[in-house]
Amino acid sequence: MTAVIASYLPRTGEVHDEVKESSPRHVRAALARAGAAAPAVEAVPPAERATWLDALAQAVEAAATGLVEQADLETALGHDRLSGEVQRLAAQLRFYAEVAAGGESLEVTLDRATDTRPALARYRRPRGVVAVFAASNFPFAFGILGHDTASALASGCPVVIKAHSAHPVLGDLLADLLVDTLRECGAPAGAASVVSGFEAGLSLVGADEVAAVAFTGSTSGGTALLRAAAQRPVPVPVYAEMGSVNPVLVTPSAATTRMAEIARGFVASYTAGSGQMCTKPGLLLAPRGADAARLVTEAFRELAPQPVMLTSGIAADVGERMAAMESAGATVLASSGSRESGWSAPAAVLAAGPTALRRGSSVLEECFGAVAVVVEHDPDVDAAEGLAWILPELPGALAATVQTAGRHDPDAARYVDLLAGRAGRLVVDQWPPGVATTWSQHHGGPWPATADPAWTSVGATALDRFLVPVVYQNATDALLPPPLRSDNPWRLPRRVDGRPEEPA
Amino acid sequence: MTAVIASYLPRTGEVHDEVKESSPRHVRAALARAGAAAPAVEAVPPAERATWLDALAQAVEAAATGLVEQADLETALGHDRLSGEVQRLAAQLRFYAEVAAGGESLEVTLDRATDTRPALARYRRPRGVVAVFAASNFPFAFGILGHDTASALASGCPVVIKAHSAHPVLGDLLADLLVDTLRECGAPAGAASVVSGFEAGLSLVGADEVAAVAFTGSTSGGTALLRAAAQRPVPVPVYAEMGSVNPVLVTPSAATTRMAEIARGFVASYTAGSGQMCTKPGLLLAPRGADAARLVTEAFRELAPQPVMLTSGIAADVGERMAAMESAGATVLASSGSRESGWSAPAAVLAAGPTALRRGSSVLEECFGAVAVVVEHDPDVDAAEGLAWILPELPGALAATVQTAGRHDPDAARYVDLLAGRAGRLVVDQWPPGVATTWSQHHGGPWPATADPAWTSVGATALDRFLVPVVYQNATDALLPPPLRSDNPWRLPRRVDGRPEEPA
């Protein structure tokens, strides 16, 4: 009997389809094929690997209508949001193609021999097979073809991807698209495979073939993978992007001049996608006397969100988290009633006093849903319940935001500075969702936002996770891999004796 | 009663001096000062931080005679080796000064706003306080002022260094030199402190102030630190450079034409510094029929090494490791008798058959001493006992070597290729000790050589360990830290909209 994964409709909570779970034999075969493909994938020049990613972008665009339809059934995220996300997926695949083709990530560095040192030639080669755990909440941008897969392939690593069980039929569509497109491009067999099921995921983390793990999900899920990987005879890095509360600070001038607008922006931002975003701003810190809690409550009542969640587990968790926050001293100011059917969960705005924000409190844990907390604090930063007292209690975040009164706000610089070291991205007068895929993006942050703040899962440096240096000492051209040969067959930018050099 | 650390003379095993162990209060104070200094050290422009390192280089050179004398008493490594190492220390301090001043490590990356994306400005900022565990075997190059300290300071991180108990009086001299020189340079108080004692080391790994750990030492020591760091509420990276067997391959042509010379080079290399080097070549793999074992034994008898070890523990361990190797199927071909007094240990050459080289065997564990194993294997790489069968059994290495018959050796490329992924450095026709400090150096390797092969403890990219990215979204100049301001006050190289740009 083959185990199956049910495909549910979150809007009704009903099963409408099912897919087969990967058998242990299937998982072993995918890993073996990936391991065998690693040298072949590595040997493909980066400019050619880039064409695979461009082809995937094109295939995604061609299949967009059907993909969006299926995704909407299984996620209830809505056509508009999902259509935008498909376009974003195509754009990010093309971005990683551009980064791969540029060859900067390989960091070719040559030191010629001198009287006192040997010739040394270094570059970064692919780690090997990457196990990717696709996320539930962005079925395209962080899904089977998402940032982790694209940046791993761009780096020259084969991938074995665990599909998320929240959208299994969509997973099958994306898996076919991935495997078929790579085959048509002439990529080595085994360069990418998709597996499904909880056991399959565990097998990936323990597998000898796997050289790195990339994960986007909850803190508990990420922590479990980190623990499992630590049990391996040979440890491998787990690049886990986990939970984040993403605080928002409001300067005194902004609170005086723009508090109603900020309140609306905050509610729109934290309820988007039913609050199921890692960059959801979950905590608004505003100076006392600006009516922040009342204005956020008004905006919440206007918007009247009716969240439908991705899974029944996520839906159940929202209520539990809210109860925990209340036990820890928060008060519900407003909440939307649950719908009658399906995986609905309350949306809510809560208030808490500064004293509730102590390290380890449930008020400071991520609630993966359309729930946020407003805190009114002493406007004096250095006072007993001011920001300098509150901020060291907050866990690390992916993104922290400062809302200012614009260019002449006298407190803006101090407020931005207060957040240094507390988040991977500092946002000014905008909102954290909508992570642009660019050269300078950083989507990572201090624990528990990610396992190590050094790494990003979005942007050009996402490739860095999957590359490791090797240096050749006193080796002639005939012994060197293509990236290091003097005729530079891959046309890579290089640093020679410490000076950057573009390819001729 | 203050606990003390005895200073021994390895040549006699006698105590000749002692230093005070750091009290818990002293360690707490050093950590608190370092934590408080972190923002000030970060705010110092890299070109100014570079002057600290240059001043340290000068101070080391000025104090060289006394330092070498003390180091020789406590390590028995000899004046020549230690004088060379002091010069090397000065040179590497100057190299890290140059890297810091260049500002490349900060990776300033700016994306201007467009219709579809916000302005993003990224750089890498210092992680914060780094706990450095100084090594026993290179009291200068990897000691209190060594690569880890220099690269952490170059990155803008304060350091709290645990001195090694093998040379405590030297440790006090170097600690004074470090602290005094930084004070004279006007560095923030607490930018560097030195502590000593086992408990002090444990405190560092658990301390809230510590953001990263750098360690050079044994696999057991490194593994213990990794485990301790994993227990922290907020994990921190442990950059552990640990044990490595560093295999040497001899091509069939080299075995025919140069085996006697290779044998002499191998013995000179593995017995240097009494074999107490992380880059010691511990395993020679030569094709059967070239008399490799006999020639290595002859070279060993000519050289007749008489090792004196750094500590009584290391001396005792050599004998235990040899016994374990014999139990696992190796045979002693020759060994030097122990001296009458002091911390002497045997030097030895052992032989083993290819079948003894199975994963987990004691023959494949590092012996930190002048002991090495010769294996004669089937010259056919793909045969049952050929290299393609042996090499996958070997643990990861810092450095692997291929000895060839020169430019026209038909097997050289294949042999180098066989080692890809098995070591961080591939050496051709030279020997692995003597790690040049350059732009392209990589001193790291697959487990257990290091905790993660992504990182190096030597060379320009050693700084990368101590930097983490942060990106500012939609922030005006007034809100940005100096490295990201449009007038580029630190004169850093930058990447703007994907294109590299040198400072004007």
Does some domain include residue B114? yes
Same domain, B200 and B319: no
Q: Which residue of A has its CA nearest to B417?
A: A479
The amino acid present at A146, given as its one-letter code, is G
How many other C-beta atoms are found inside a 10 Å radius of the C-beta of residue B340? 6
Note whether A444 contacts B469, CB cutoff 8 Å: yes
Same domain, B126 and B211: yes
DSSP state of A112: -
Helix axes A64-75, A46-62, angle to 10 degrees: 70
How many other C-beta atoms are found inside a 10 Å radius of the C-beta of residue A359? 10
How many other C-beta atoms are found inside a 10 Å radius of the C-beta of residue A197? 23
- Residue A2 pLDDT exceeds 80: no
Same domain, A314 and A421: yes
Residue A164: per-residue pLDDT: 97
Same domain, A64 and A143: yes
Q: Nearest-CA neighbor of B191 among B25, B44, B28, B26?
A: B44
Q: How far apart are the first and last CA of chain B?
A: 60
| pLDDT tens column, B314-354 | 999 999 999 999 999 999 999 997 667 799 999 999 999 99
Task: Report the pLDDT averaged over residues B296-301.
Answer: 98
| pLDDT tens column, A79-111 | 999 999 999 999 999 999 999 999 999 999 999
Q: Identify the active-site residue in B209, B241, B298, B366.
A: B241
**pLDDT band at B502; cut points 50, 70, 90:** confident
User: By the 8 A CB rule, do B213 and B127 touch?
Assistant: no
How many other C-beta atoms are found inside a 10 Å radius of the C-beta of residue A201? 24
The amino acid present at A53, given as its one-letter code, is L
| pLDDT tens column, A130-154 | 999 999 999 999 999 999 999 999 9
Note whether B440 contacts A479, CB cutoff 8 Å: no
**pLDDT band at B456; cut points 50, 70, 90:** very high
Catalytic-residue membership of B98: no
- Residue A231 pLDDT exceeds 90: no
A447 lies within 8 A of chain B by CB: yes
Mutate to test the interface with A, among B425, B473, B474 (most CBs of A within 10 A): B473
Point out the domain boundary residue: B428, B443, B474. B428
Distance from CA of A218 to the nearest CA of B (A): 16
Residue B500: per-residue pLDDT: 87
The strand pair at B494-496 and B108-111 is best described as parallel
Q: Report d(CA B385, CA B107) in Å as an integer.
A: 48
- Residue A338 pLDDT exceeds 80: no
Same domain, B306 and B349: yes
Report the mean per-residue pLDDT for chain A: 96
Does some domain include residue B130? yes
Note whether B440 contacts A120, CB cutoff 8 Å: yes
Segment 365-424 of chain A within 8 Å of chain B by CB? 396, 402, 407, 412-413, 416, 420-421, 423-424
Q: Report d(CA A191, CA A151) in Å as an integer.
A: 13
B221 lies within 8 A of chain A by CB: no
Q: What is the CATH number of the domain that holds A196?
A: 3.40.605.10
User: By the 8 A CB rule, do B377 and B285 touch?
Assistant: yes
Does some domain include residue B333? yes
Place of tokens 């696709």: A134
What are the chain B neighbours of A109 within 8 Å (beta carbons)?
Answer: 439-440, 460
Residue B501: per-residue pLDDT: 86
B113 lies within 8 A of chain A by CB: no
- Residue A300 pLDDT exceeds 90: yes
Q: What is the CATH number of the domain that holds B415?
A: 3.40.309.10
Residue A1: per-residue pLDDT: 58
Residue A176 is encoded by which pair of tokens?
């076919």
| pLDDT tens column, A9-52 | 999 999 999 999 999 999 999 999 999 999 999 999 999 999 99
User: By the 8 A CB rule, do B193 and B34 touch?
Assistant: yes
Same domain, A209 and A118: yes
Q: How many CB pairs under 8 A join A and B?
A: 184
Residue A407: per-residue pLDDT: 94
Q: Report d(CA A429, CA A445) in Å as an integer.
A: 20
Residue B341: per-residue pLDDT: 79
Q: Nearest-CA neighbor of A153 among A193, A101, A192?
A: A192
Task: Report the pLDDT averaged over residues A105-123.
Answer: 96
Phi, psi dihedral angles at A433 (to 5 degrees)? -65, 155
Residue span of the structural domain in which B292 resides: 247-428
**pLDDT band at B472; cut points 50, 70, 90:** very high
Q: Nearest-CA neighbor of B91 among A116, A119, A496, A498?
A: A116
Residue B210 is encoded by which pair of tokens?
């510590």
Residue B231: per-residue pLDDT: 87
Does some domain include residue A481? no
Torsion sign across C-alpha atoms A290, A296, A299, A301: negative
Does some domain include residue B503? no
Does some domain include residue B493? no
**pLDDT band at B160; cut points 50, 70, 90:** very high
How many other C-beta atoms are found inside a 10 Å radius of the C-beta of residue B299? 21
Number of domains in chain A: 2
Task: Report the pLDDT averaged over residues A412-419.
Answer: 97
Q: Report d(CA A203, CA A284) in Å as an integer.
A: 41
Q: Nearest-CA neighbor of A482 among A52, A98, A103, A97?
A: A103
Q: Give the Å distances, CA to CA, from A119 to A501, B438, B455.
A: 18, 10, 20
- Residue B417 pLDDT exceeds 90: yes
Q: Nearest-CA neighbor of A270 among A403, A178, A367, A156?
A: A367
Same domain, B374 and B410: yes
Does some domain include residue A252? yes
Q: Identify the active-site residue in A42, A74, A241, A376.
A: A241
pLDDT > 70: percent of chain B: 99
Q: Please, which residues bridge with residue B41 across strands?
A: none
Report the mean per-residue pLDDT for chain B: 96
Distance from CA of A320 to the nearest CA of B (A): 23
B198 lies within 8 A of chain A by CB: no
- Residue A422 pLDDT exceeds 70: yes
Same domain, A273 and A222: no
B457 lies within 8 A of chain A by CB: no
pLDDT > 90: percent of chain A: 95
- Residue B368 pLDDT exceeds 80: yes
| pLDDT tens column, A345-395 | 999 999 999 999 999 999 999 999 999 999 999 999 999 999 999 999 999
- Residue A67 pLDDT exceeds 90: yes
Residue A502: per-residue pLDDT: 79
Residue A500: per-residue pLDDT: 87
Does some domain include residue A220? yes
Residue B333: per-residue pLDDT: 98
- Residue B498 pLDDT exceeds 90: no
Same domain, A253 and A283: yes
Distance from CA of B224 to the nearest CA of A (A): 13
Q: Report d(CA B292, CA A428) in Å as an integer.
A: 68
Q: Report d(CA B50, CA B48) in Å as an integer.
A: 5
Same domain, B348 and B401: yes
What are the chain B neighbours of A470 within 8 Å (beta carbons)?
Answer: 420-421, 423-426, 442
Same domain, A192 and A76: yes
B125 lies within 8 A of chain A by CB: yes
Q: Identify the active-site residue in B42, B278, B366, B376.
A: B278
Catalytic-residue membership of A278: yes
Whether the complex's predicted ipTM is more than 0.85 is answered with yes
Residue A339: per-residue pLDDT: 66
Note whether B454 contacts A474, CB cutoff 8 Å: no
Residue A365: per-residue pLDDT: 94
Q: Which residue of B has its CA nearest to A360?
A: B233
Mutate to test the interface with A, among B440, B492, B495 (most CBs of A within 10 A): B440
Same domain, B80 and B222: yes
